[in-house]
Amino acid sequence: MTAPGTPKAVPRAAAFFDLDRTLMAGSSGFHWARAAHRAGLLARRQLLADVWANVQFRLRGSTDQGTERVKERVGAWLAGRRVVDLDRLAPGVLAGVLPRLYGQMLEVAYGHQDAGRPIFICTAASQETAAMLAHVLGFDGAAGSRLEQVDGVYTGRFDGPFCYREGKPARMRELAEAHDLDLAASHAYSDSSSDLPMLRAVGHPVAVNPDRELACAAAQEGWEVLRFETLGRSLKVAAAFAAVAALGGAGHVVHRRGRRSATR
């Protein structure tokens, strides 16, 4: 309890960062799946499905239906598993995630931190994932989806709100209360229209690698937009090269056929 007469802390601004497609390319969940497969905890068939889902996520972002399917599947997979077995996957997860971080976004985050604004990861990923990355990256804290555990075993249920859509500002308010933060003066960064509640909870929203709906909202509301994702551009370039190669091959065939006809 604060002693009588002690000046009350003045709320300060902070910066909140979504994780997947905002701080990093792709999905952190994919790297959990890959580490689980290597440890013999996940079937190869499911890993291949997660590989494709990760590509789709990088290209198009998240959807409510896709997120709900992942939530249900992960909950069912976690039920009855020991917490320690998941903890042991952390080195493999970090080995996959760290090379995929956007250096530009880390510069943005550390710029806030150097200016006196604490920085937080705010993600639908598990609280364990969010806290681990916040610690490794030197962030001031994290808010993720809490996984319920009893006697060292996951139940497959969530403990509190799922940190998605309205769940994100709810967790941000928890952080604001715990750290004396002023959300109206704070910044938030995210890629998805599902995070419009998160972005609208602060005074300075920024769209990062935005999906179509978020890009439209950012344009209408005059928000800053940052773009770092390159997979879609790379695929378009690859497709263009493939088309040129195909045309070149077809032309070569036509040319050879023409020469043969001329010599008959």
Residue 6 lies in a domain: no
Q: What is the pTM of this model?
A: 0.78
Q: Which CATH number fits the domain that encloses residue 167?
A: 3.40.50.1000
3-state secondary structure (DSSP) of residue 205: strand
The answer on 111 and 168 residing in a single domain is yes
Q: How far apart are CA 21 and CA 208, in angstroms?
A: 8
The answer on 184 and 234 residing in a single domain is no
Which one is catalytic: 20, 50, 191, 195?
20
Which one is catalytic: 18, 50, 195, 211?
18
Please say if 18 is a catalytic residue: yes
- pLDDT at residue 53 is higher than 80: no
Q: Which of 96, 117, 133 is nearest to 19 (CA)?
A: 133
Q: How far apart are CA 49 and CA 66, in angstroms?
A: 13
The answer on 211 and 185 residing in a single domain is yes
Q: pLDDT digits over 91-117, tens only?
A: 999 999 999 999 999 999 999 999 999
Please say if 151 is a catalytic residue: no
Top pLDDT among 70 and 104 is at 104
